[in-house]
Chains A and B, each alone.
Chain A
Amino acid sequence: MKENANTRVVVGMSGGVDSSVTALLLKQQGYDVVGIFMKNWDDTDEFGVCTATKDYEDVVRVCNQLDIPYYAVNFEKQYWDKVFTYFLDEYKAGRTPNPDVMCNKEIKFKAFLDHAMSLGADYLATGHYAQVRERNGQYELLKGVDDNKDQTYFLNQIPKEILPKIMFPLGGMEKKEVREIAKEHDLATATKKDSTGICFIGERNFKEFLSEYLPAQPGEMRTLSGEIKGQHDGLMYYTIGQRQGLGIGGSGEPWFVVGKNLEENVLYVGQGYDQDALYADGLEAVDVNWLIDGDFTQPFTCKAKFRYRQEECPVSVYPQTDGSFMVQFDEQQRAITPGQAVVFYDEDVCIGGGTIERVYKNEQPVKHLA
């Protein structure tokens, strides 16, 4: 084993409190810590100010407090090609993409990992709430202990081969503790607000942002039985199970998005949070990545999540000959959304995940969700 002082750990620093504390903890453990800021998006505004500048300045302040070297790396091109293009393509296809999953897969744990290794790093560390556990030479991705912050959902697509090179120092902590440590050490980012939403959109209006890149095609809102309920602004602005922004008045229960028809440019709506149209009992998962060794040619049972911050539910997984997987839920689930990730768990171990391709009910694809 190398001594910590001779072990170089590159920390991906965003200018937020989580990655700041990540660097602090590793520094305290005596590692040779190098902070790197990733610039993935150029959002210079009309006054020439770019939010990346502010974040980078925070990285600089924290790294100086910790007395570690810091650098920046530009992945704008890779991010555009691998993440943003996918993001737009998915919306064009009427689906709801998950750019964070793609960013982890293509940028943070690929391009950035390569970058870290090219700097002579032994490990790459990030501020994700997840854990890597070694057992008998096998590495597993574990949920973070803070149930509310666990980020394995977003990490499901990283290759298992890289786990031995990854450190998640916050995985064993609660977010609250992280804030406290930051405050205790008076880190420049101790009270900085957590970033919310999709990183390249930031605090901006989602609809406005998307309309800059994709033409909005307004169309009809209909019930599944064909009754016209009004106009939608463009299918890409809506996601399954959404209540806000439909503008359908009248009496009775509130209205929800229950599906889309891309060909006819129709948004399906229905009444009631618990309406039957929003429920399904299975899905087809594609691009499945397994994080543990194993034979995935036979059916098995485990637990699964279909969205971030959802409790896992018991499922049966049936491998298909084309490499996809049919996932059957023990109980019906609400608002399963094509394009989002389905992630599998065995207790606290994240065993893999894929992308939701189709939604099923009674062994038939749900047409309005296709």
Chain B
Amino acid sequence: MKRIYLDHAATTPIHPSVKEVMRDVMEDSFGNPSSIHHFGRESRKRLDEARMTMANSINANYESIIFTSGGTEANNLAIFGTAYANRNKGNHIITTNIEHHAVLHPVEQLEKEGFDVTYLPVDEKGMVDIMDVKKALRKDTILVTIMYVNNETGMKQPVQMIGNLLRSRGIPFHTDAVQAYGVEEIDVEELKIDLLTTSSHKIYGPKGVGFLYKREGLNLTQRLYGGEQERTWRSGTENTLAIEGFKKAVEVLKEERTKRYDHYKQLSERLIQALDEKNVEYHINGDLSTEHRVPNILNLSFPGMDVEIFLTNLDLSGVAVSSGSACTAGSIDPSHVLKAMYGEDSPRLRNSIRFSFGMDNTVEEMTLVAERIEKIVNRLSSNV
């Protein structure tokens, strides 16, 4: 059985050139970048080069990059760090109902600590309305955190408009760009973003590393105390091996971005086409057009299916996809994103699947996936 991996939004395999670089680094370099001797300097040089690569990738300054252990830590640092640093200025935070848990849970924690949080709704396509952001702003708003691309639907949020609005009011804007970074060209100056989260393992780099972009001059309270690495904002010896891999992944991304985008688009279109050919009934959660959707994430609802049965059958037939998030006891919780889009009672919460495409996927695989889906849907429908 040929296994087909369509869960790249969860994590990507490591790119061959990234592997190569990491192997070399493991052989050649081990120094602590903070050490003042030859070995430290050698490591520091590589770290600085990586930092420069990251900065360039989003049109930012060298000083604005804070390496972290990944997206979750970067989000936590941005949210708690900004909230605590601005406590004397205000108490109000704005976010949305469709954020990743790595944003929602920190914000909920701040709510418990006495901060006032506004959760913005989204429309049926899963998009935030800039007017809602505007209306929610208050004198005491100290942070707005709205994701760039939603991880379940692939829907792009109006970050440019939000950036313009917030910059004019002087309110810090954080965006979780973990799903956007591998697809979108991001220019933090143009978009007027103050804080931006990325993660390496979503862009064919190793796990355990990411960065937070923090606009220079922005106040941020540190979360980890120790050796004061990363200009005090992130203590702890840098994960130099992973950072080297991340750097290479970003370099490859820069070269391949357009090619990847086109490939993802082709895959997404082919899957839809193949499902149509087989007369499989589905609805798109979000928007089929790629005007507001990244082409590598496709969220489909299959009427009459049950997500747990469907996902299990797909895996048993060699198709790896996902849906919402699994609870700690393994069962699938209804997606808060789809809930925000369609309401608590929508059957879509119980019958939707996320497909996320990668560079290694082929157009032929999409035909195969559609065939396997057709088989399962037919078998399950005839059982009823």
Q: Which residues of A contact B (CB under 8 A)?
A: 34, 36-37, 39, 50, 52-53, 55-56, 59-60, 69-74, 115, 117-120
Contact = CB atoms under 8 A, between A and B. Distances in A.
B329 interface: yes
Nearest to A121: B316
A52 B312 contact: no
Contacts of A115: 308-309
Nearest to A51: B329
B313 interface: yes
Given A34-B316, A53-B328, A120-B313, 8 more contacts: A36-B312, A50-B329, A53-B329, A60-B330, A71-B311, A72-B308, A119-B316, A120-B379
B312 A117 contact: no
A34 B316 CA distance: 9
B111 to A, nearest CB: 16
B383 interface: yes
Contacts of A39: 327, 329-331
B380 interface: yes
Interface of B: 306, 308-309, 311-313, 315-316, 326-332, 379-380, 383
B266 to A, nearest CB: 31
A50 B331 contact: no
A36 B331 CA distance: 10
B330 A56 contact: yes
Nearest to B310: A118
Q: Which of A55, A73, A118 is packed against the most chain B CB atoms within 10 Å?
A: A118
Contacts of B331: 37, 39, 72-74
A274 B142 CA distance: 75
Nearest to B383: A118
Contact of B316 (A37, A69, A117): A69
A251 B282 CA distance: 76
A140 B49 CA distance: 73
A55 B316 contact: no
A74 B316 contact: no
A301 B308 CA distance: 47
Contacts of A55: 329
Given A120-B313, A120-B316, A120-B379, A73 B329 contact: no
Closest CB pairs A-B (n = 6): A72-B330, A74-B331, A52-B329, A53-B328, A72-B331, A56-B329
Nearest to A8: B316
Given A34-B316, A69-B315, A69-B316, A118 B309 contact: yes
A59 B331 CA distance: 13
11 contacts: A37-B329, A50-B329, A56-B330, A69-B315, A71-B330, A72-B332, A73-B308, A74-B332, A118-B383, A119-B312, A119-B313
Contacts of A118: 306, 309, 313, 380, 383
Nearest to B384: A118
Given A71-B308, A73-B308, A120-B379, A37 B313 contact: no
Given A34-B316, A69-B315, A119 B329 contact: no
Contacts of B308: 71-74, 115
B313 A50 contact: no
A202 B327 CA distance: 21
A71 B306 CA distance: 14
B328 A56 contact: yes
Contacts of B383: 117-118
Contacts of B332: 72, 74
A56 B329 CA distance: 5
A53 B312 CA distance: 19
B380 to A, nearest CB: 6
Nearest to B333: A74
A72 B328 CA distance: 10
Q: Which of A60, A70, A115, A119 is packed against the most chain B CB atoms within 10 Å?
A: A119
A250 to B, nearest CB: 50
A118 B314 CA distance: 12
B316 to A, nearest CB: 6
Contacts of B312: 36, 71, 73, 119
A39 B327 CA distance: 10
A73 B333 CA distance: 10
B326 A72 contact: yes
Given A69-B316, A115-B309, A119-B309, A37 B328 contact: no
Contacts of B329: 37, 39, 50, 52-53, 55-56, 72
A36 B313 CA distance: 12
A37 B379 CA distance: 23
Nearest to B331: A74
Contacts of B309: 73, 115, 118-119
Q: Which of A52, A56, A71, A115 is packed against the most chain B CB atoms within 10 Å?
A: A71
Contacts of A71: 308, 311-312, 315, 330
A276 B379 CA distance: 60
A13 B44 CA distance: 51
A117 B379 CA distance: 11
Nearest to B306: A118
A118 to B, nearest CB: 5
A30 B157 CA distance: 51
Nearest to A32: B316
Contacts of B328: 50, 52-53, 56
A166 B329 CA distance: 25
A37 to B, nearest CB: 6
A21 to B, nearest CB: 20
Contacts of B313: 118-120
A306 B313 CA distance: 42
A60 B328 CA distance: 11
A34 B309 CA distance: 13
A124 B313 CA distance: 16
B315 A37 contact: no
Q: Which of B313, B328, B379 is packed against the most chain A CB atoms within 10 Å?
A: B328
Contacts of A53: 328-329
A118 B331 CA distance: 17
A37 B329 CA distance: 8
B1 to A, nearest CB: 12
A53 B309 CA distance: 20
